[in-house]
Amino acid sequence: MSDLSYVRTEMLPQKAPPATSVGVVGWLRENLFSSVGNSALTVVTGALLLMLLSAILPWVFLGIWDAESLADCRAQFAEMYADGRTYACWAVIADRWDQIMFGYSFGNLNEGLYWRPLLGLALILVALSPILYPNVPRIMYVATAATLFLYPWLIWGGSIWGPLTLAMCIIGGIVAFRFASQVMITAFALPVAIVVTAVLIMVVMGPLSNGLASVAALELQPVPSREVSGFVLSITIGIVAIVASLPIAIMLALGRQSDLFIVNKLSTGFIEIIRGVPLITLIFVATVLMKYFLPSHIDLDPVVAVMILVTLFTAAYIAEVIRGGLAALPKGQYEAADALGLTYWQAQRLIILPQALKISIPGIVSNFISVFKDTTLVSIVALNDPLGISGAIRSNSDWNGIVWELYGFIALVFWIFCFSMSRYSLWLERQLQTGHR
Amino acid sequence: MSDSVAPPKETFRLSMLLYDSRYRGITIQFVVLVLVLLALGWLARNAAVNLAALGKPLRFDFLGDTASYDINQRLIEYTSTDSHGRAVLVGLLNTLLVAFMGCAAATILGVIGGVLRLSSNWLVSRLVALYVEIFRNVPVLLWIFVCMFTLTAIAPAPRAFRGDTPEASMLLWDSMAVTNRGIYIPEPLFSRPLGDLNLGVFNVSIELIVLLAVLAGSLFAMKWNNARANRIQTETGDRPNTMWMNIAIVIIPFLLVLIALGFHIGKPELKGFNFKGGINMSAPLIGLWLGLTLYTTTYIIEAVRSGIQAVSKGQSEAAFALGLRPGRTMSLVILPQALRVIIPQLISQYLNLTKNSSLAVAIGYMDLVSTLGGVTLNQTGREMEAILMLMAIYLTISLTISGTMNWYNNRVKLVER
């Protein structure tokens, strides 16, 4: 009997999982064909996707890059394909690349000025590096400050002494603020500094820059604002709005959170009015009404007027994001700052704002993305952003009737900018994640 | 004799306005108010001086002048002999029309997309993610142009529908025609009409009022029916089936009224060079609607996704543990909680869509901006009045939408301790 019994003494080796649940097959079964309904969904979607791709991909990749005009493109296609198939005519992009990117100012009219917007963009990238990446040396902030004054000079031209003396006046204002804040509270030192800056700009700046210019001209060929166009215009409006709106937005958000009744109501009213109207009406205000609101002897440039209004628009939206950040901070933070005996502005600068701004970063970046997309609205008031330029290209007899290629290309450029901004925001959010909120 | 010292007599000194934090706030506010008033006064004075120099005092009587321009897409009667004021009203209704159509379509597509985005099917969820990333990183104005162009370039011209062997044919049993001039859809007609009710500014057909009244009555009756079922349930423990009765309450009176009014459908027909009859949705309306919808849908998809993901897994597990079926878990446990996250985002997207509808001016849809801020402004030369009015109207619309939505949001809000 005993020799018939069998007792297993060692463990069986683990069996490999069935071939249908690992590897490619397993992944397919789990993610695409887990049930009948799912399989049907996969098949239908896949078929639709294939149809779409088989229509779009050949059109994109079999396109012609070398042609004189749309008619030329069509002739080439007729020569190549007997059955009358046509694909994209990318030659329009190759032909009008300069115009779309740099607009008229640096393109057709003034050959050889491309280095100015290109250098400007390079400067912006350098200037952004300390803001974008936390581990770039702090000394780079000097480049950021310099770019604020050099970029407009590169775009609009003229004498370099204008921006430089403006920078000096602002430095004068900052010095005045330092001195004033030692003898009085910040709420009063701030207006004093602003008045000092304004006086310096109005009284000292003109004569000083003229005098310096007569010693050494250092001039770039001026470019009229109307001719700043193409993606250079979009990027310029976008950057100005982004940079200038942040401080305004912070003031508005603090104002809206303030206990002071009048300050609170004024900030709230401003934010709600700006957020309640479409951007296009504000752009109309800039181009049509601005001249009424200023004394008749001031001739405000339309592009500058648009920039001011777009900045105010962005500021109102970002103010709401920052207010959300301020409201999300635990009350203990405010109370701790009070307990340490910090004044209002010290508490804001050292304790409240660093945390509130950190929470608000995703919202702020998504507003930056929208303002960059919204710069296309200036084409409605006949400023030549890429969409305006595309209309101009189509009205040329060479490229009359071309649409998809132009829109596709412009969309692609916008997409690259906006997509990378949103990815950057996600990355930064992870970087700043300190495990608590 | 006592140790206590009388508290120092409080006297107000002028320096306390600066150095006493109790009074400093007043000083700051006063200074801010004066500065703001000065700035506003300066702007207003400049405007008054400049307008007077041009001989254009701020007056709104241009709204009564004859408009003398045509608007082919309109909801109320309008001819070019009507006043600018009426043209503005037509534009306002057009703005509201496209905003309403856009919000409705974007909500439906957004909810479907948001659910598909969370689907366990890899292909589907990635496709939706791709759609979101493509559409929301490109300016909405570009999408509006693309949609408008697609319609006018790809859809056949009305003459393609003519002849014995037409190149193009109508859809849905010859009731709908997609042409490059717009889409023609059937219209509801009544063979025994009741006429129009004159509301002073525009007419409303009485049939519509009657139908709405009947529907409202049915809903009221349905409410009563549900209340009755609740009462029986609390008394006996058994809940009578309310579904069939509710369906009957809603549908039967409505059908009876439709039959009484002689309801039939008027199909668009090709007459001469264009379609006649039916409702015409012009090409700019369709282009704007599609562009706004495709763009706003991406934001609603993200809102729905974040809302559903914000409900913790324990909630659905608890619901399953209580024995609720998946459908009821969704409707009773997950959705009510997800809605609290979704609705505020939806409100802001509705507002954005309404404001973005002002881009109509770029493709020639006669909305508020195209009428008041476009043709009317150019014809009358009243920039200041027209643009201020434009902003005031948009502000009113925005505040109304956000006010209504916030009221609703407060009703569904979680009441905490």
Pick from B231, B209, B212: which is nearest to B220 by CA?
B212
B:9-48 residues touching chain A, CB 8 A cutoff: 18, 24-25, 28-29, 31-33, 35-36, 43, 46-47
Residue A14 has pLDDT above 80, yes or no: yes
User: What token pair was written down for A419?
Assistant: 């997509």
Residue A106 has pLDDT above 70, yes or no: no
pLDDT in tens, B396-408: 999 998 888 778 8
Task: Tell how strand B263-266 and strand B269-271 pair up.
Answer: unpaired
| Phi, psi dihedrals of residue B263, rounded to the nearest 5° | -70, 135
B142 to A422: CB separation less than 8 angstroms, yes or no? no
- Cα–Cα separations (whole angstroms), residue B39 to A297, B46, B49, B119: 18, 11, 15, 56
CA distance B241 to chain A (A): 31
CA distance A387 to chain B (A): 8
Report helix, strand and coil shares of chain A as percent, to nearest 5. Answer: 75, 0, 20
Which range among A208-222, A324-338, A387-401, B153-167 shows the weakest confidence by mean pLDDT?
A: B153-167
From the list B127, B137, B355, the residue facing A419 with the nearest CB is B137
> What mean pLDDT is predicted for residues B272-278?
71
Rounded to an integer, what distance in angstroms lies between the CA atom of residue A324 and that of residue A366?
14
Q: Which residues of B touch A272 (CB under 8 A)?
A: 399
Contact (CB, 8 A) for A237 and A304: no
pLDDT at position A279: 94
Residue A437 has pLDDT above 50, yes or no: no
The CB density around residue A350, as the number of other CB atoms within 10 Å, is 12
The DSSP string of B187-249 is: EEEESS---EEE-SSSEEEHHHHHHHHHHHHHHHHHHHHHHHHHHHHHHHSPPPP-HHHHHHH
Residue A30 has pLDDT above 70, yes or no: yes
User: What token pair was written down for A418?
Assistant: 């906006």
CA distance A324 to chain B (A): 13
> What mean pLDDT is predicted for residues B258-273?
76
What is the percent of chain A with per-residue pLDDT over 70, rounded to a whole number? Answer: 96
> What mean pLDDT is predicted for residues B65-71?
83
User: What token pair was written down for A342?
Assistant: 């910090």
Mutation choice for A interface testing from B17, B115, B136 by most A CBs within 10 A: B136
Instruction: Quickly count helices (H) and strands (E) in chain A.
Output: 19, 2
User: What token pair was written down for A326?
Assistant: 């301020």
> What mean pLDDT is predicted for residues A396-420?
89
B361 touches chain A (CB under 8 A): yes
> What mean pLDDT is predicted for residues B163-186?
73
Q: Which residues of A touch B145 (CB under 8 A)?
A: 387, 407
CA distance A280 to chain B (A): 7
B394 to A276: CB separation less than 8 angstroms, yes or no? yes
> What mean pLDDT is predicted for residues B74-95?
87
**Binning pLDDT at 50, 70 and 90, where does residue A66 land?**
confident
B400 touches chain A (CB under 8 A): no
Question: What's the CA dihedral at B249, B251, B254, B259 to 10 degrees?
Answer: -130
B120 touches chain A (CB under 8 A): yes
Residue A394 has pLDDT above 50, yes or no: yes
Give the residue with greater pLDDT, B183 vs B278: B183
> What mean pLDDT is predicted for residues B293-317?
91
Give the residue with greater pLDDT, A64 vs B291: B291
B:339-358 residues touching chain A, CB 8 A cutoff: 355-356, 358
> What mean pLDDT is predicted for residues B90-115?
93
Computed over every residue of chain A, the mean pLDDT equals 85
pLDDT in tens, A264-307: 999 999 999 999 999 999 999 999 888 888 888 878 888 889 99
A285 to B398: CB separation less than 8 angstroms, yes or no? no
> What mean pLDDT is predicted for residues A336-346?
89
B149 to A407: CB separation less than 8 angstroms, yes or no? yes
Specify the amino acid at residue B257: V
- Cα–Cα separations (whole angstroms), residue A346 to A54, A199, A342, A375: 62, 27, 6, 36
pLDDT at position B15: 76
Considering B15-29, B50-64, B165-179, the range whose residues carry the highest mean pLDDT is B50-64
A263 to B358: CB separation less than 8 angstroms, yes or no? no
CA distance B384 to chain A (A): 6
From the list A185, A275, A280, the residue facing B361 with the nearest CB is A280
Q: Which helix (H) or strand (E) holds A220?
A: strand A219-220
CA distance A264 to chain B (A): 10
From the list B31, B46, B137, the residue facing A415 with the nearest CB is B137
Contact (CB, 8 A) for A402 and B140: no
Contact (CB, 8 A) for B188 and B263: yes
Rounded to an integer, what distance in angstroms lies between the CA atom of residue A167 and that of residue B136?
38
Q: Which residues of A touch B35 (CB under 8 A)?
A: 191
pLDDT at position A105: 61
Residue A21 has pLDDT above 90, yes or no: no
Considering A386-395, B169-178, B192-201, B404-413, the range whose residues carry the highest mean pLDDT is A386-395
pLDDT at position A376: 92
Rounded to an integer, what distance in angstroms lies between the CA atom of residue A231 and that of residue A124?
15
A373 to B50: CB separation less than 8 angstroms, yes or no? no
Contact (CB, 8 A) for A112 and A221: no
The DSSP string of B161-186 is: G-SSS-SS--BTTTTBEEETTEEEE-
Give the residue with greater pLDDT, A251 vs B204: A251
A277 to B122: CB separation less than 8 angstroms, yes or no? no
pLDDT at position B300: 94
Mutation choice for A interface testing from B16, B28, B302, B361 by most A CBs within 10 A: B28
Q: Which residues of A touch B390 (CB under 8 A)?
A: 277, 281, 284
ipTM of the prediction: 0.86
> What mean pLDDT is predicted for residues B156-168?
70
From the list A42, A185, A374, the residue facing B123 with the nearest CB is A42
B378 touches chain A (CB under 8 A): no
pLDDT at position A398: 83
**Binning pLDDT at 50, 70 and 90, where does residue A339 land?**
very high
Cα Rg for chain A, rounded, in angstroms? 30
Residue A110 has pLDDT above 90, yes or no: no
CB pairs under 8 A between A and B: 148
**Binning pLDDT at 50, 70 and 90, where does residue A255 land?**
very high
From the list B120, B122, B373, the residue facing A284 with the nearest CB is B373
Nearest residue of A to residue B359 by CA position? A280
